[in-house]
């Protein structure tokens, strides 16, 4: 039997939750990129009337160009950070000494950036 198995299992469940979140953020970044490509294709179609073309071009603006890439990079950083945190916590669980609890700065930073990106996309789509 593994010593402190419940602690190690909790560490692994937390790691898997962060991995799922990172994969979801990356997938959403790909969706934003593909949607932007779709909007650009629609805007360049000659069958559109002149009123719809500027609206589609505005929707595929800088937020569409760089927002998807930002989400993909954020998801990748989330995966790397969660892997490092999982390994560090596993080592600390195996150590016999008592360690102070670490800060939650990385998780808070990622959550804040993700919330700001989602708020930016929502505002952009509502006002666009």
Residue-wise pLDDT tens digits, 35-71:
777 777 766 776 666 666 666 666 666 666 788 888 8
What distances in angstroms separate CA 78 from CA 31, 51, 106, 126, one per listed residue?
A: 18, 41, 9, 28
3-state class of 4 per DSSP?
coil
What does the pLDDT look like over 86-101, one tens digit per residue? 998 888 888 877 767 6
- pTM to 2 decimal places: 0.71
Q: Which residues contact 125 (CB under 8 A, 6 or more apart)?
A: 59
Domains in the chain: boundaries: 5-127
Furthest C-alpha separation in the chain: 71
Q: Which has more confidence, 125 or 16?
A: 16
The helix (H) or strand (E) run that includes residue 6 is helix 5-43
């Amino acid at each position: 039997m593994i010593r402190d198995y419940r602690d190690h299992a909790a560490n692994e469940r937390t790691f898997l939750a962060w991995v799922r979140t990172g994969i979801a953020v990356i997938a959403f970044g790909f969706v934003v990129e593909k949607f932007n490509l779709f909007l650009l294709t629609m805007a360049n179609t000659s069958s559109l009337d002149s009123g719809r073309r500027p609206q589609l071009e505005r929707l595929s603006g800088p937020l569409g160009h760089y927002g998807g890439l930002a989400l993909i990079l954020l998801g990748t950083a989330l995966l790397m950070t969660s892997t490092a945190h999982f390994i560090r916590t596993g080592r600390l669980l195996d150590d016999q000494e008592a360690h102070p609890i670490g800060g939650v700065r990385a998780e808070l930073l990622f959550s804040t950036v993700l919330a700001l990106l989602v708020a930016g996309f929502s505002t952009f789509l509502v006002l666009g």
